[in-house]
Every structure is written in C-alpha cells, then in structure tokens.
Amino acid sequence: MQSIRNRAAGRPARRAAALIAAAASLALIATGCATGDSAGSGGGAGAAESITFIPKQLNNPYTDVVLGGGKDGAKAAGFSATEVVGPLEASASSQVSFINAETQAGTNVIVIAANDPDAVCPALKEARDGGAKIVAFDSDTSKDCRDVFISQVVAKDVALIQTKLISEQIGGSGEIAILSATANATNQNEWIKYMEEELASNPDYKDIKLVAKVYGDDDDTKSFQEAQGLLQAHPNLKGIISPTTVGIAATARYLSTSEYKGKVALTGLGLPNEMRPFVKDGTVTAFALWDPAQLGYVAAFAGKALAEGTITGKEGDTFEAGDLGEREVGADGTVIVGPPTTFDASNIDKYDF
C-alpha cells in the first residue's frame, strides 16, 4: 500500500527527527498501511493542525465505518491534514511503530483504538511529551497515557443487551460461549466482565452456564475456526455471543451452512450490512451495535478541542461535536457517544452501514 503524507504549513516545530520519521514511514509501508488527505476545506479556526487515526487493524469492515466517520469529523472540525495508519494484524505491540512515526512527524492529534492498553503507553507518553494530544476511541488505553477516551456506549449497557438477547434466544437456559476478538482488547474484556457478573448475579440467568471463552483475534479465518471448535468441543452448546463484528460475521457464516443452523443461537455486535443475509435466512435472530461512524466523528472533534486548548480532558469539560451537538467529558476522561441499537428482521433494512 502507498503512504501519502500531505502536511500543511504552520505545524509545531518538532521536525528535528525528520529523517528518522522518513525511515519509520518506509518501515510502516512494509508492515501496514497509511492513507491520508488534505482537508483544507474544513471550517475550524486557528493554526493548521493534523490528526492521524490508528485503528486496531486496517481492512476491517467495522473499522472502515469508524474511520469514515473520523475523516468526516476531521474535515468538519477544520483539521488541515488527516491520515489513517495502522497494522494489518491486531496484535498487542503492532501499533507502536506507527505511534513513533507520528511523534517524529509532529502530528498534533493521535486518535487510537488500542489493541493492548499497556503496550502502546510508552510510545503514547513520548508523543504527549512532544506536544501531541491523544484521543483513545473504541478500545481504551491505560488512562495515564491519553487525554480522553471516546466510548461507543456505556460499557455495561453493551454487556447487558447481549446477555439479554442470548437469554431470549435460548429460552433462558443452557450452555453458552463467548467468541471475542483479541485477549487483551480493553473494550472486549470489559464487556465480558460485565456479562459474567450479570450471569452470576441476575436470577433470570441462573440456568445459563458460560462454558467457554475463545478469541478469533478479529481475523475472519481464525474466528470461523474458533466457532467450529466451540461446537465440536461443546456438543450441548445452545448459544454463542460474539461481541466483535468480525467474529459474529464469521460465526454466522459457519452456522448458516452447518447442521447447527437454527439449533445454536448467535448474537453479539455486528454490522447490519454484513449480518443482513444471516438475519434473512434465519441463522441470526437479533444482534446489537451503535453507529460506528459517530464514534470516529466525535473523536475528531474531541481532538480538535484538545489541540485548541478549549478542553483538557477533565470531568465536566464540554465541546461541540458538529452535527451531533455538545458532548461532555465524564469520569475517567470518558465521552459517551450514544446508546446501542438492536437489529432484527423488523428493522435491519432501515440501516446501511
């Protein structure tokens, strides 16, 4: 893939290591991808500012929607240059070299979805020392190495809606399993923690037994194989929760052509456009998600407010997020985008993402 860097004039004077940055960029081309564009038509005021998005991995359908919203938000917020860089695999340390390259390049705002909350911290702290503002989104970093975290929804609500859906679909009793993304993904682990707490404490779920947690690493092939493995290892399995768009789509594809179609329930977090055929053919009854584009959109505006110094990331700070209106920074520097939506046969055709 080609790296396109279109930096505007007026950037902070942090280019002493330009040659190092160039070398780092060449290394990134060999291991991942970088795309970018000039967004000079934005409506913001003040000095030219750049923003770079570093997702957990590129070439992920969910990520594509998030980044599309991020680019729209960056343009609307008035960033002069917007880039997307990142690894092709969602491994713990795969984002570090990309962060280092952005630090050397003098990027004003780095927006990152962390594959591992701790592995990226030393590099992010170095970026902050150089003057960059750090916005975590989708999957949080450790709190001491970012300025704010843009969360899709309240984490517990994401867990509760998935627990409710699987209970409804298996009749309130039986064995279930979870097919997650990576073992270190902050958001996935937080949702799973709340699911486990709800299953253990809510009397409505006393007859549901969680028998396995497996990880597809947000890789389609591995997720497909993990789904196969779950059914082989647990012949009494009645349902699977996959709180990842890659995992739920791969599992649905496996179930749809297997003897388990209609016998093993599947729910979790999915993209309507990917899940539509499996809802139509009866493989999946219902699943949930938020609008991923809004996540990137709000993250861009949060980065702009941080770069301009109108917020610092402390609880109670507020900023305008374009068409989505005012947002407030809550506890632990977290900004909530919106509530989850349940998709089923009655409404899935109303959504296009």
Cα–Cα distance, 218 to 250 (Å, whole number): 10
Render pLDDT for 323-343 as a digit per residue (tens, 0 to 9). 999 999 999 999 999 888 899
Average pLDDT over residues 28-37: 47
pLDDT at 34: 52
Q: Is the pLDDT of residue 41 over 90?
A: no
What's the number of CA atoms in the CB half-sphere (13 Å) around residue 216? 28
What b/e readout covers 249-277, taking b as 16+ CB neighbours within 10 angstroms?
bbbbbbbbeeebbeebbbbbbbbbebbbe
Provide the pLDDT confidence category of residue 92 given band limits of 50, 70 and 90.
Answer: confident
Continuous H helices in 107-185: 121-129, 155-170
Do the Cβ atoms of 244 and 188 come closer than 8 Å?
Answer: yes
> Structure tokens of 22?
């160039």
pLDDT score recorded for residue 61: 85
For the cut 90, the answer to whether the pLDDT of residue 237 exceeds it is: yes
Can you tell me the distance from the alpha carbon of 12 to that of 82, in angstroms, rounded to the nearest whole number?
Answer: 16
56 pLDDT higher than 70: yes
- Higher pLDDT, residue 163 or 29: 163
pLDDT (tens digit per residue) in 126-138: 999 999 999 999 9
The reported pLDDT for the residue numbered 26 is 40
Residue 45 pLDDT > 60:
no
Evaluate if residue 14 carries a pLDDT over 90.
Answer: no
Mean pLDDT of the chain: 88
Asked which of 155-159, 226-230, 305-309 is least confident by mean pLDDT, the reply is 155-159
Q: What is the pLDDT of residue 48?
A: 61
